[in-house]
Amino acid sequence: MRYARFAPFPVWALFLVMGFTACTDSTDPIQVFPPPGPVPASLEIIGPSQGQVGDDIALAAVVRDAAGDTLRQVAVTWSSSDTVRIPLSLVKTASGASAASGAIVKPQRIATARVIVSAGALRDTVVFTSSLSPYAFVFADTVSASQRQLILDAVQDAHAFHQTMLGRLIAESTTVTGAFSAPGCNNGGAAAYTGPHAVVFCLANPGWKNNGPVRQQKIVQHELFHVWQFENHWTGNAATAGATWLIEGSAEWMGYKGIDALGLLSFETALGCQIKESSDFATRTPPGLPPLSSVETQAAFQSTQGPLYTHSMLAAEYLIQTAGLLAFRSYVEAIAAGTEWHAAFQSAFGISTTTFYNQFPTWLSARPVPASYLCGI
């Protein structure tokens, strides 16, 4: 058998081909594939879900991989669903830079908000509730979020207002209830009722629900002042508390002054409406309401027809114009010390009850009567 014989391939040609290939320019990008790193698999908020108004509450966001190991270098974003009542801020490092893994919740109001943290597609939420000592709140399940918040805000406003006006807060544990059905809510116009360390708002009663949000806030402020009166021994004992018109009139005065301080309704406008209501009643039913001396007891006050809360608020205004607001504190302190209420009145307000009863009608009759009601609801 014969074999074909081939000419040998020159070695220099092989080098030429290899050299030509090695020098060819390539337009393809060079890709580097590093070993895969840990991938975030879970995100969790760590920290309290409640705190007091005024506190700084620290929260942390923990990011973990599929193996459960914590990842330190993952950026997260924080937010609050109520940035007014429950705002938050990022934790600051020693250098002043933001540390994305932490946040400080800074409750400003009694409220509930969702605090949310996210990292890419991961997300975690905690429902954060702020509270204000010494209050505990109980609401029926069907109370709307807006009604709850109105009561929460008004309680907080009243609490601060007591300090501003009288230099004395409610300090003892107090339960605030919003209910559609409660034993004391069965009376015709009962918007609320108050006892020692407790107040119940009757949300289904016409006395509450027929009022708009401004007057409802006034009602809350009125009732919180009754809590203040109970705590300071102004009321709670009929034998020592003194005139019911003064108890109710001062609470009504504080209610209207409280919403004036919030910019909701000017006190002068509210005062004008009270004067007109009193005047209109006297026109319809001459000679109008009986003298205040006849409604000192709770039984007489509750059985008298007409705008007695209005009349009592006007009497409180006259007293404050005469003696100043802090005379109320002097009156309370005298009663708490066991002073008989007529003597306490004389000492605190600088006038006897007899003289006051004689002077009040003259003061009221001299007040101008507005042409129409301006108070709204």
* Helix 145-166 vs helix 213-231: crossing angle, to nearest 10: 50
Confidence band for 33, pLDDT divided at 50, 70 and 90: low
Q: By percentage, how much of the chain surpasses pLDDT 70?
A: 87
Residue 228's Cα: distance from chain center in Å?
A: 18
**Domain ranges, ordered by start, for the chain:** 40-131, 133-157+166-211, 232-377
Mean pLDDT of 133-158: 97
152 by Cβ neighbours in 10 Å (0-12 / 13-18 / 19+) ranks as: buried
Domain 40-131 listed as CATH 3.50.50.60: no
CA distance 284 to 290: 14
Mean pLDDT of 157-172: 96
Question: Hey, is 353 helix, strand or coil?
Answer: helix
Confidence band for 100, pLDDT divided at 50, 70 and 90: low
pLDDT at 29: 56
CB 199 within 8 A of CB 176: yes
Model pTM score? 0.85
Mean pLDDT of 46-50: 97
pLDDT at 365: 94
Question: Hey, is 78 helix, strand or coil?
Answer: strand
CA distance 236 to 250: 15
CB 226 within 8 A of CB 162: no
DSSP string, 137-205: EEE-TTS-HHHHHHHHHHHHHHHHHHHHHHS----S-EEEEEES--GGG-STT-SEEEETTEEEEETTS
User: In the structure encoding, which two tokens stand for residue 115, read together?
Assistant: 């605090």
CB 375 within 8 A of CB 273: yes
Output the CA torsion 220→268→376→258 (10° steps). -20
Residue pLDDT, tens place only, 245-291: 999 999 999 999 999 999 999 999 999 999 999 999 999 999 999 99
Q: What's the DSSP call for residue 84? A: T
User: In the structure encoding, which two tokens stand for residue 116, read together?
Assistant: 């949310």
Pairing of strands 192-195, 198-202: antiparallel
Question: How far, in Å, are 2, 12, 117, 220, 312 from residue 5 at the CA level?
Answer: 9, 21, 80, 115, 132
CA distance 172 to 309: 27
Which residues pair with residue 38 across a beta bridge? none
CB 81 within 8 A of CB 113: yes
Position 194: which residue type?
Answer: T
251 by Cβ neighbours in 10 Å (0-12 / 13-18 / 19+) ranks as: buried
Average pLDDT for the chain? 89
